[in-house]
Amino acid sequence: MLLAEENNWDLMKTFFAEEGLVKQHLDSYNEFVEHTLQQIIDEIGGITIEVPNHTYEIKFGSIEVGDPVITEVDGTQRPVYPREARIRNLTYAAPLYLEIMLEDEGKETYEKVNIGDLPIMVKSKLCLLSRHTPDELMALGEDPEEVGGYFIINGSERVIVSLEDLAPNRVLVEIDDRGSNPVYRGKVFSTTVGFRARIEANLKAKGEMSVTIPGVPVPVPYVVLMRALGVETDKQVADMVSLDSKILSELEPSFREAGNIRTREDAVLYIGNRVAFGQVKEFRMKRAEAILDRNLLPHIGRGADQRKDKAIFLGEMCARIIELKLQRRKEDDKDHLKNKRIKLAGPLLAELFRSAFWSLYRDMRYQFRRMSTRRKGVLISAAVRPGIITSRIQHALATGNWRRGRVGMTQLLDRTNTLSTLSHLRRLQSPLSRSQPNFEARDLHSTHWGRLCPNETPEGANCGLVKNLSLTASVSSGTDADKIKRTLEFMGVVKAKDADENLRHEGAKIFVEGYLLGYTTTPQELVLKLREMRRRGEISGEVNTCYYKTYNEIYVNCDEGRIRRPLIVVSEGKSLLKQRHARQLREGRWQWGDLVREGIIEYVDAEEEENAYVAIDPNNLSAEHTHLEICPFAILGVVASIIPYPEHNQSPRNTYQAAMAKQAPGLYVLNYRDRSDTRGHLLHYPQKPAVGTKPMEIIGFDKRPSGQNFIVAVLSSSGYNMEDAIIFNKAAVERGLGHSSFYRIYKAECKQYLGGAKDRLTIPEEGIRGYHGAEAYRQLEHDGLIAEESEVKGGDILIGRTSPPRFMEEYGGLEVRGPQLRDTSIGVRPTEEGTVDGVFITKDIEGSQLVKVKVRSNRVPELGDKFVSRHGQKGVIGMLVDPEDMPFSVHGTIPDIIINPHAFPSRMTVGQFMESLAGKTGSVRGEQVDGTPFDNEDANSLAESLEKMGYHPGGREIMYDGQSGRMFEADVFVGVVYYQKLHHMVVDKIHARARGQVQMLTRQPTEGRARGGGLRFGEMERDCLVGHGAAMLLKDRLLEESDAYSIYVCEKCGKQAYYDIRQRKYVCPICEGKGEIEPVTISYAFKLLLQEMQSLCLSPSLQLTKEFE
């Protein structure tokens, strides 16, 4: 490794030591708790309640969040840790306290009231775990390496998946050429706290421009809108747009369209006529002005004094659209990351809390009004119902149903292994529809470099819409924009309102968060000075700036949700990171934050990177370079960075591996024995890979791997490894290769019902409803629970439970024995077997007894189990061969598995060959080989090492056939490859059925393995039998074995008949005694169709013909 690369690797380690891998979620949540909560309360301020002869003033003060506690049924409160919340199905939440001041005619009363509970993000500042050292965490029964970033709701771990959205308050221009003539469009998502308005301006084919405003049913002509905002004369309107004669000539049709409207009053009335048609003039004017202030560009302001600023903004928007038409400006790229913002847990929870608090506000207002009529007076604590906020937030987190009809915003945290958990916490979702193509949105964009992983995305409908953050990518938390505006004004920026004609003509425009702040004559110097101030720490490090020479525009961004990446600053062709800094880092005297403060490293967003010239290799630095990459492999995400030699693979193979690495059992948490996850997989003998990558150290993959090193021979052999099957050495499997355990939790709670009845844990008595037979209960102890380490199989009862009847009629009158109980015992799934690993007996939040039984089943690799290398080469076991029949080498080495050589040519996974060589070298050397992406030990070095140690440099070996003892004519490629067992095991998939359950409605067999369903004989299978002319087999499959049913049909009228049991004869309801009735075998689904048609007042008749004349 070169010295520079070693320094950069030390730098990466300090970055992860300080930043971690889920910092974006934790920072976002901490920001929400520390600042956003208070801002939401301050926005609302208080309530004024006027009742006859009285006025109450209620003001809201500061809000604070307590420590996570739980209130038991008896009312006692005590601290709660995540471990207890998981086992007892609790929500890990803390109470919110709000200071409320009530002013009652000069008399003031203060009270701190609990307004609800806020779910706590694990490992955030409010979480109890963040205050403990790893050793203390182990003593508490928690995982010392816990990363956090998720919530615990009703005992399950839920993660808020970050949402990728278009940037607010930025004008985006585009050409809509779907019609015969192109329409030039500019749109802006004007967003202010809790409100989002889409403003759109269109330049139609005829040349007139109109603006769409929410709340106005029709587009408003541009000139009319400008006049309504107080820009009355034509010259003023034109000046707002541009001083260029060509641009102004394009405005002519717009002026003509608004020819009749000359004054501001006319323009406001024009809008008023369209929003309040038929009302009195004052009301129409008032309504129109309210829409102009509240719905038009609310991010600029919502008062009458901001109308001039709104007119300036609209003028800029109009100028851009005309420039687009004149081909002076290109369409904005919606997929460029400068136009995207990431909504993390903070903003999403803020949106939720805002709407929940408004509900509480309305309820409080109602309660105060009710109380004010009573003699006792008003009590603050009695008017606040904490359940409103608690239930709204918890329900949204538990179901993923957010405001505005968005669904799937939270997901159950994937705990298959360490990688799957980290990957899930770094995932981004796009709000675009899964069903439409959206090719451009799914594409990899140049701005994704170093920000989003190029390989980690699912296959199928979500491809390219679900993305993952790269290793060093972070999300900005934002800083105060007003402070930046003041700084820029101090630096000599002239405000847009005050700019003269000359400055507007020659100066560069400056936009702060999409808002036109003003003009400057020295754009280049201003941008450089701003960056210099950021490096010196004079302004926030969250600020990024960019200067576009072609448009003469400067953009300054300081909002939250921009994906940024750290780069080393280069000055005059030399990196600012010197050897002494690296030494300080290695000795632990400096941290990552010190480098950022010193201006050696800075965070760059996608927009600022447009001005940057980044070097990848420190040896190729030139005077033009502005920045240097820290590590080239940082462009990959968490999962892709564990693939060795990925640059030698075809790209899709790396994508397949990224998906499958999340399905490999490993050691997912250290405290798995104390957890009650519904399903859990554990690999018995996980191994560190013989070929590692540097990021593994940071991710913790070396400590908690999810695979084993296999000796792999590439050989066609007996043909049992055709089509990606794998031949396994039986002896290796018997020694423990690929062994894993599968855990499943079975739960039962003893509910209490109205009327005092409740469930009981006991061994059910024979003869009660739903009794499973004495054999099923044989292992239960006297308390109705099974003992630990009992061997169980499908159908065995784990928890014996009886419940009272569900419906009144089941009570069966005044029986001597009392109501008939039901058996609601919990049994092992019919297809599973195993050993009882543990029994958790506890109480839930309502005080009901809760029992969880964990069943462990040992999974030994068998025919059909799926394995995969780290290069997307997946396969199932095709044969288990005795060791004496396996091929062996000169040294007597027997491979663990044999894979087929046909797996390589078309898939081009050369990386697996490289890994095989490196694994062999590492095994002989006795050390891990570095296979880091783009920075690894090359093939020549590996070949040299192998040759020195007496092996063939190309990894080939002379091998002998185990069955005949003859030497193979060709050399066999043998090496050590890291293989992962996947949780798709044949024992969970195998399914067959002769007869069984049928659906109630159609009487056809049920669907799916869990319900013991039938195997679908589909349309294509039917076509085969039709082609073969196998009529009887066809009838057997589709009728006899499915839903054959006999009905009686009257030959005379064709209607259905029936058998009258009293008269003992068949009767046709229409022909009565004269009908000739015949039995017919039809599909029950067809009988259902006939009856459904009858329910629609259609009367179908069946015409019968004799089978044999």
DSSP 8-state secondary structure symbol assigned to residue 768: S
Asked if 453 and 636 count as a contact pair (C-beta separation under 8 A), the reply is yes
Q: Which of these is catalytic: 234, 724, 930, 1036?
A: 724
Helix or strand run (H / E) with residue 535 = helix 523-536
Taking alpha carbons only, the member of 68, 63, 100 closest to residue 81 is 68
Amino acid (1-letter code) at residue 980: Q
- 1000's tokens: 């109630």
In Å, what is the CA distance from 605 to each residue of 138, 189, 447? 39, 21, 9
What letter represents residue 1044's amino acid?
Answer: A
Report the distance separating Cα 183 and Cα 541, nearest Å.
40
Residue 595: C-alpha distances to residues 537, 566, 618 (Å): 11, 11, 18
What is the SS3 assignment for 909? strand
Closest CA to 649 of 396, 903, 929, 871: 871
Return d(Cα 163, Cα 349) in angstroms, integer: 12
Q: Say which amino acid occupies 343.
A: K
Query: Between the CA of residue 336 and those of 82, 444, 451, 606, 666, what are the distances in Å?
Result: 40, 10, 12, 8, 37
Is residue 934 a contact partner of residue 633, using CB atoms and an 8 Å limit? yes
Beta strands in 105-182 (DSSP E): 107-119, 151-153, 156-160, 162-166, 172-176
CA atoms of 350 and 477, how far apart (whole Å): 14
Residue 103, burial from CB neighbour count under 10 angstroms (0-12, 13-18, 19+): middle
Q: Which amino acid is at 836?
A: V
Spatial distance between the Cα atoms of 709 and 731, rounded to a whole number of angstroms: 15
Pick from 831, 803, 834: which is nearest to 819 by CA?
A: 803
Q: Could you tell me if 974 and 959 are in contact, meaning their C-beta atoms sit under 8 angstroms apart?
A: yes
The sign of the dihedral angle between the CA atoms of 920, 923, 925, 929 is positive
Per-residue HEC secondary structure of 612-662 comes to CCEECCHHHCCCCCCEECCCHHHHCECCHHHCCCHHHECHHHHHHHHHHHH
User: What's 36's DSSP letter?
Assistant: I
Residue 954, SS3?
coil
What strands, in cross-sheet order, belong to the sheet with 679-683? 679-683, 740-749, 849-859, 833-843, 791-793
CB environment 266-283: b (16+ within 10 A), e (fewer): ebbbbbbebbbeeeeeee
**Residue 724 catalytic?**
yes
How many other CB atoms sit within 10 Å of the CB of residue 331?
12
Between CA 842 and CA 852 the distance in angstroms is 9
Cα of 892 vs its chain's centroid, Å: 50
Q: In Å, what is the CA distance from 334 to each residue of 447, 448, 512, 554?
A: 12, 13, 19, 19
Q: Buried (b) or exposed (e) across 486-513, using 16+ Cβ within 10 A?
A: ebbeeeebbbbeebeeebbeebbbbbbb
| Contact by Cβ (8 Å): 338, 22 | no
3-state SS, residue 339: helix
In whole angstroms, what is the distance from residue 271 CA to residue 226 CA?
12
Q: Which residues are catalytic?
A: 724
